[in-house]
Structure 1
Amino acid sequence: MGNMPLFVFFKDIRNVFKADELGLEIVHIALPTLLALLADPVASLVDTAFVGHIGPVELAAVGISIAVFNQVSKIAIFPLVSITTSFVAEEDATEELRANEQVHENVENGTPISMEMEMEELVPLVGKSSSTGMVKLEHVRRHIPSASSALVVGSVLGFIQAVFLIFAAKPILNYMGVDSNSPMLKPARQYLTLRSLGAPAVLLSLAVQGVFRGFKDTKTPLYATIVGDVANIILDPILMFVFHMGVRGAAIAHVISQYLISLILLWKLNKQVELLTSGVKDLRFGQFLKNGFLLLVRVIAATFCVTLAAALAARQGPTTMAAFQVCLQIWLAASLLADGLAVAGQVSNGF
């Protein structure tokens, strides 16, 4: 049995569950990331449940609108977050290495470290070592050009997405199978137009999450996401049923939650990173575009299937589309289970 090729995959499997330093670090990164990734699908499931109480037509309309919004968003989101995480991890490691080299040089020259740090306008070093034995910089406003680049790129892409979806909502929905005679058109257009107002906040918050992941800090995005999603869940029934806003209330609640998440993340990030750079030359737009192209092609291919399925379901009528929306949200929540480990591997690769 042990010589069978299948058992090669299970060789030394005990090492996978070994509680060594690297394993614990991966768990500390992956678990909060997983919870943060699950928070939004769970909130979407709650949205779906509330909208379902209005009626199947409204549920189907929201489903097709979410499919359109996600298709357009993910084209920019995945490359932006992945590239930001890698670049920030690389630059943060380089800055720590430079600071440690400066410390060792000061020790060799007999120069007091604290005085030298003040003269060079470097931030204080906290006596904490990383897994590589290097001194870690903490409670620091670091100079990370990739962070500023990600914020600019995310804001611009979010604004472009919002304008595109707001003015092209009707023709896009018609292309997706919601024609002018469909009862889904009006609520779908209302939801898509209002939710598109939150596109800048969505891309900006995800860009900031990429920065925090590059710092190996996955807890801050988790806390911000939980606060935003709880606000969304609270506002949903209030706006939808108390103020009788229907699907518009669901969209407005989601937009408010996204801007709340963005504000929290920017506030926390501003304490750690110098967000304003000295000039455009410090930004890494060229590298963002170069490295993001292949990821962009991959994301389009991956999300096209889901969007096509939504379009075909919409052509079958409101009942079929409503059922598809419920199943899709459950599938999306389950499909994110592996992304936490992916982020942990990506961040660790940058160090």
Structure 2
Amino acid sequence: MTQAPATPKAIRRRHDREIIALAVPAFGALVAEPLFVIVDSAIIGHLGTAQLAGLGVASALLMTAVSIFVFLAYATTAAVARRVGADDLPAAIRQGMDGIWLALILGAAVIAAVLPTAPFLVDLFGASDTAAPYATTYLRISALGIPAMLVVLAATGVLRGLQDTRTPLYVAIAGFIANAVLNAALVYGADLGIAGSAWGTVLAQCGMAAAYLVVVVRGAHRHGASLRPDAAGIRASAQAGVPLLVRTLSLRAILMIATAVAARLGDADIAAHQIILSLWSLLAFALDAIAIAGQAIIGRYLGANDTEGARQACRRMVEWGVAVGVVLGVLVVLSRPLFLPLFTSDASVTDAALPALVIVALSQPISGVVFTLDGVLMGAGDGPYLAWAMILTLAVFAPVALLIPTLGGGLTALWAALTLMMTVRLLTLWLRARSGRWLVTGATR
């Protein structure tokens, strides 16, 4: 007796279950990550203003270095998910190990670059004479944990590709708790000052990396996958990551230009911009969780040669992106009177922020689609297109943003330009999704 085909409603429900199962834990893990810096700031803030300023500079440098290599998670997720879809778990884990070895190599290179140049980098970021020694100390010690941070990125990509976002959530929570305890013990108990905070973070990151490696190594033993470094596999992982690196650098350039323009508008505008950017980043975590689900699900479907399943999953995730974007936009509008007083009592800052927040709220459905399609195309391994699309977006945004101080409009105009940037991304991603050229099937792309 043949089984009746699934109804559209049943298909949507199946996709909903998959999206929720992957996105909700992914969101929790994403939110846990910035809490490391918040804990460090809270503990070091009691040591003095100079120490806190030093942490601010060092953390900015570290987060920039680590975010550049976020492709270790994205590219690994897509590659592993394809192997899972092709029902080849040993090859999936082997693919993930290549990403982990690449992370270790890159981490060692970053240490070699940062340790001797730390004072120069701190000075380049404008640290004051009183804050610079603290920033240098924190940066040099924390740099020792960068290989562990990059291993965490790559291993997170392995587990996401294996359709597991719960384990990264548990590891992130454990890492956050360990970081808080170690920081307090080493800063105050051992009286190590800012150096104690840096060592506490390094130890917490190493513990997280070790936990991930235990999970991956067990999986490798269970499925008979080799753990040895493979030059060809590592080289392939690096090549797959280059387009995503270009995409990330272009996006960071956009955000840096926006901050530079806001600084030229005046103190009230840059202060309001930083508040809004913090909120925008928080909203991005919710949308990025859907994108992560997209990477894992789409990669699996294409690895299983199921283009129709990939199309249906893409369509449903876009609907989720729009819906979540609408909800976030409404929350932004409703929370404005409560949100702004948490950061400032300056009326000029509030006046600059209020109209810009309305633009942020209205743009959230656009952001929902952008994040979703970005994840879908990453899951398809369509990195070269994403790189060129982001370069085009940068080329459109930069001249518009740089003209704002001359033409006027203030912070509202700047966030309108950022909405234009997201709209350009929407158009480029939507055209690619509609073309179907991303639907390349097989265990490898």
The TM-score, its normalising length taken from structure 1, stands at 0.72
Identity %: 29
Quick one: which of 211, 235, 258 aligns to 2:158? 211
Contact 1:67 1:310 (C-alpha < 8 Å) held by counterparts: no
How many Å apart are 1:35 and its aligned residue?
Answer: 0.4
Contact 1:65 1:192 (C-alpha < 8 Å) held by counterparts: yes
SS at match of 1:271: helix
| Corresponding position: 1:32 with 2:25 | yes
Residue 301 of structure 1 is matched in structure 2 by 250
Residue 14 of structure 2 is matched in structure 1 by 21
Residue 350 of structure 1 is matched in structure 2 by 299
| Corresponding position: 1:44 with 2:61 | no
Contact 1:60 1:322 (C-alpha < 8 Å) held by counterparts: no
SS at match of 2:219: coil
Contact 2:101 2:229 (C-alpha < 8 Å) held by counterparts: no
List, as ranges, runs of 4+ consecutive aligned residues in structure 1 with deviation greater than 2 Å.
140-145, 273-281, 283-291, 301-314, 321-335
Q: Specify which structure has the bigger relative contact order, considering alpha-carbon pairs within 8 angstroms and separated by 6 or more residues.
A: 1
* Partner deviation per Cα, 1:17-49 (whole Å, 9 max, x = no partner): x97121011101001111011111123212211
**CA distance in 2 between partners of 1:85 and 1:298 (Å):** 17
**CA distance in 2 between partners of 1:272 and 1:142 (Å):** 11
- Specify the structure having the higher radius of gyration (Cα): 1
- Structure 1 residue runs without a partner (length 5+): 1-14, 97-139, 315-320
How many Å apart are 1:72 and its aligned residue?
Answer: 1.5
Read off the aligned partner of 1:80 and give its amino acid letter: L
- Structure 2 residue runs without a partner (length 5+): 1-7, 264-269, 301-445
Instruction: Check 1:325–1:248 CA distance in 2 against 1; reply closer, same or farther (3 A cut).
Output: farther
Instruction: Check 1:143–1:80 CA distance in 2 against 1; reply closer, same or farther (3 A cut).
Output: closer
Residue 120 of structure 1 is matched in structure 2 by none
Read off the aligned partner of 1:89 and give its amino acid letter: A
Greater per-residue helix proportion = 2
| Corresponding position: 1:239 with 2:189 | no
The TM-score, its normalising length taken from structure 2, stands at 0.58
Residue 104 of structure 1 is matched in structure 2 by none
Contact 2:62 2:139 (C-alpha < 8 Å) held by counterparts: yes
Residue 134 of structure 1 is matched in structure 2 by none
How many Å apart are 1:275 and its aligned residue?
Answer: 5.5
Instruction: Check 1:205–1:332 CA distance in 2 against 1; reply closer, same or farther (3 A cut).
Output: same
Pick which of 326-335 and 206-215 moved more. Answer: 326-335
Q: How do 1:193-212 and structure 2 match up within 5 A?
A: 193-212=140-159
Residues matched between the structures, number: 283
Contact 1:80 1:207 (C-alpha < 8 Å) held by counterparts: yes
How many Å apart are 1:341 and its aligned residue?
Answer: 0.6
Read off the aligned partner of 1:293 and give its amino acid letter: V
Quick one: which of 197, 219, 224 aligns to 2:171? 224
Q: How do 1:21-170 and structure 2 match up within 5 A?
A: 21-76=14-69, 78-96=70-88, 144-170=93-119
Instruction: Check 1:331–1:52 CA distance in 2 against 1; reply closer, same or farther (3 A cut).
Output: farther
Residue 106 of structure 1 is matched in structure 2 by none
How many Å apart are 1:242 and its aligned residue?
Answer: 1.9
How many Å apart are 1:286 and its aligned residue?
Answer: 3.9
